[in-house]
Structure 1
Amino acid sequence: MTKLVTIYGGAGFVGRYIARRMAKEGWRVRVAVRRPNESLYVKPFGVVGQVEPVMCNVRDDDSVRAAMQGADAVVNCVGVLTELGKNSFEAVQAEGAGRIARIAAEQSVGTLVHLSAIGADEDSESDYAKTKAHGEAAVLDAFPDAVILRPSVIFGTEDEFFNRFAKMTNFGPVLPLVGGETKFQPVYVDDVAQAAVMGVLGKAEAGVYELGGPEVDSLKGLMQTMLETIQRRRFIVNLPFFAGDFMAMGFGLLQSLTFGLFHNHVLTRDQVKNLACDCIVDADAEGFSDLGISPTAMDVILPEYLWVYRDSGQYAAIRDSAANLRNN
């Protein structure tokens, strides 16, 4: 009988790439999400009936258990970048992760892959990083043989990193940054998915893997790369952390005053705290090399999706070529 994997958050940014790869491996894929009717785009990843979205709330035992019924392997990709209502960092990234691992152990699931993040640290000032660490601890406590992946900032077509800053270039000649000197090691989303699939298939030993791409650069340097890719000139301003904290307080107040109608995706105080720490692979950590994966360089992928922010869009190359002809 064909094996079954349940992917919690399988319709999200990283989860969908894992789901696609697992379908290509011939597995049945159960995509556990809060809104399955909005996640029907995962169904064409496989043949008819191979990939199915189901409703699940990781804050509820019965819901998690139902989505896991009969699964041979489990992948947890659920996480939040900003808190809203009951979906707090603690509820989702710590308690939710522990719940999935505990129930996986109860149901004798064969393998468990958990997606965490570089910078997970129980002593961090950031609640995001702190709860990521709490989630890892809860997973290992219930399922000691789990594979835990800690990626740096992830890029790809649907990312909320390069896309977010590229959109900001539409609002004026200045691109403000907080933590411009903080180092990052961007990793391509499908490389992370490949590592997760190796964990599911038992091709990765149990343990923690830190995943970063081949380039390390400051946030400011990455924004310069983004600007070159979208062929725009903007003046990058590196704001001090106290200014970023003040801005984040303002956005948070606006969210409170509008009773959540305005959801602060721009900048939160917790993100300001996180931006004070480098997000790169530790020199002693296991990573892509231990998995036999060669990470993809940014310049191979960024032009494939950031072209939409160029003034001439997909026709930028044709415009440049025509300009050269006129000059000659």
Structure 2
Amino acid sequence: MSGASGFVGRAVVAELLRQGHTVFAGSRRGEAVGGAQGVKLDVTDAASALRAVQQAEPDAVVHLVGIIAQTKDQTFQAAHVEGTRHMLAATPRGARYLHMSALGADPASKSRYSATKGEAEALVRSSGLDWTIFRPSLIFGQGDDFFGRVLKELVTTAPIVPQIGDGRFPFRPVSISDVAQAFAGALTRPGTIGQTYALTGPEEFTFRQLLDEEQRALGQHKPVVPVPLPLMDLAVPLMGALPKPPITTDQYAMLKAGNTAPNEPARSVFGLPMHRLQDALPGIVKGGR
């Protein structure tokens, strides 16, 4: 498994181990994860990907690596496209291949994140492997980056809560538990080969409703002030000059596009319990980074 030490990776490792699978946890440092043996793996290096997979001799490869923001040393192209290319080349013929993409993945997207996710999907579909692609929406759970940090900072930093535009952009957040169960479930369901599944939760929220839920979980009642999109269009690129911008141009593009889809057929195929955001959010914001 690639990306095993990340937020999603740790949950998928735990679920696979719970179901009795032997797991080799691939990461750059090669540390053990939740009882799974660690393997050094840098997906941007073809030789590293091949060594890691050969060491594990797997029946299945789970590719989870993804980044939400680019840095000087890490680009979407390298992490999403070249990383996927290397993992596909290293996967033994006949092995199952499970791929984490993202809702909204599209090579034509204005967001480089979504565009490179779409390019990676195209590589998977043309690989000749027994693949399954998952496209999660915003994923919530202990230690998540969006609800536990980005949205939390947005509603707590200033005396008011800034709302992007009219706040009507739709989202359907999905729990990390549901995501992990879907990945593990695909390994025992041959009918999922060659299929792409959106992973979304039981309820749809507008961006404004997410702000309200975040405030409710934190026990605060600040006024919400809409910020016109033309002003945001000017401000967000300027924020990119900050050492750690509160929102990147890619994240902004994805927020404006929304992030939602029906939770079927994944809900039925994998028997997902569909955990609710409202139930988990108080614990997330109190334990968030």
Q: Under a length normalisation based on structure 2, what TM-score does the superposition of the two structures give?
A: 0.91
Return the alpha-carbon distance in structure 1 between the equivalents of residues 200 and 191 of structure 2: 17
Task: State whether structure 2 residue 151 is matched by structure 1 residue 160.
Answer: no
Q: Does the 8 A contact of 2:178 with 2:274 survive in 1?
A: yes
Q: Does the 8 A contact of 1:185 with 1:214 survive in 2?
A: yes
Query: Could you say what secondary structure the match of 2:37 adopts?
Result: strand
Task: State whether structure 2 residue 97 is matched by structure 1 residue 118.
Answer: no
Return the alpha-carbon distance in structure 2 between the equivalents of residues 177 and 146 of structure 1: 39
Q: Does the 8 A contact of 1:111 with 1:199 survive in 2?
A: no
Q: Given the alignment, which residue of 218, 221, 242 partners 2:209?
A: 221
Q: Which amino acid aligns with 2:83?
A: G
Please say which structure displays the higher CA radius of gyration. 1
| Matched pairs, number | 283
Return the alpha-carbon distance in structure 2 between the equivalents of residues 166 and 155 of structure 1: 13
Q: Given the alignment, which residue of 110, 114, 130 partners 1:129?
A: 114
Map 1:1-328 to 2 at 5 A.
7-36=1-30, 39-40=31-32, 42=33, 45-46=34-35, 51-69=36-54, 70-104=57-91, 107-164=92-149, 165-178=151-164, 180-202=167-189, 205-206=192-193, 207-254=195-242, 262-264=243-245, 266-282=246-262, 286-307=265-286
Return the alpha-carbon distance in structure 2 between the equivalents of residues 103 and 278 of structure 1: 34
Q: Does the 8 A contact of 2:155 with 2:211 survive in 1?
A: no
Q: Which runs of 5+ in 1 are unaligned?
A: 1-6, 255-261, 310-328
Q: Which amino acid aligns with 1:52?
A: Q
Q: Deviations over 1:84-122 (max 9, x none)?
A: 124211111122112212221xx2252111001111112
Return the alpha-carbon distance in structure 1 between the equivalents of residues 192 and 282 of structure 2: 34
Deviation at 1:263, TM superposition (A): 4.1
Query: Could you say what secondary structure the match of 2:148 adopts?
Result: helix
Q: Which amino acid aligns with 1:296?
A: H
Return the alpha-carbon distance in structure 1 between the equivalents of residues 212 and 191 of structure 2: 36
Q: Under a length normalisation based on structure 1, what TM-score does the superposition of the two structures give?
A: 0.80
Bigger relative contact order, structure 1 or 2, given CA contacts below 8 A and separation 6+? 2
Q: Deviations over 1:108-152 (max 9, x none)?
A: 252111001111112211111111110111011114531100011
Q: Does the 8 A contact of 1:71 with 1:109 survive in 2?
A: no
Deviation at 1:34, TM superposition (A): 1.6
Q: Give the superposed CA RMSD.
A: 2.0
Q: Does the 8 A contact of 2:107 with 2:119 survive in 1?
A: yes
Q: Does the 8 A contact of 1:74 with 1:200 survive in 2?
A: no
Give the percent of matched residue pairs that are identical in Structure 1 and Structure 2. Answer: 30
Of 78-87 and 200-209, deviating more is: 200-209
Of 181-190 and 229-238, deviating more is: 229-238
